[in-house]
């Protein structure tokens, strides 16, 4: 493990290492956002129309709500 930590420290000191680390971090962040989207979408989609009405979400807006939860206003 110490070797891996030393290697990562060396890798971040050069441009290629930073690029690889940034790419991996981007993949991890995108994966986390997709997981949030799937979770919110699944939870809302499993709710009844009455439950959705209680929280003020139309069934047709589930994708939009999940997208907002995962990705924000973008």
Residues 31-72 have pLDDT tens digits of 999 999 999 999 999 999 999 999 999 999 999 999 999 999
Whether the per-residue pLDDT at 18 is higher than 60: the answer is yes
Higher per-residue confidence, 66 vs 74: 66
Element (H, E) at 30: helix 15-45
Please say whether the beta carbons of 65 and 58 come within 8 A: no
Please say whether the beta carbons of 1 and 7 come within 8 A: no
Please say whether the beta carbons of 33 and 68 come within 8 A: no
Q: Give the pLDDT band (50/70/90) at residue 13.
A: confident
- Residues 10-39 have a mean pLDDT of 88
**Residue 11, both tokens:** 């890798």
Tracing tokens 């995962």 back to the chain, one arrives at 70
Please say whether the beta carbons of 40 and 65 come within 8 A: yes
């Amino acid at each position: 493990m110490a070797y891996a930590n030393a290697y990562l420290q060396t890798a971040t000191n050069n441009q290629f290492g930073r690029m690889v680390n940034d790419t991996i971090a981007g993949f991890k962040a995108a994966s986390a956002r997709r997981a949030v989207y799937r979770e919110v979408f699944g939870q809302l989609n499993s709710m009844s129309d009455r439950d959705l009405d209680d929280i003020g979400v139309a069934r047709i807006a589930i994708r939009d709500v999940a997208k907002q939860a995962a990705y924000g206003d973008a």
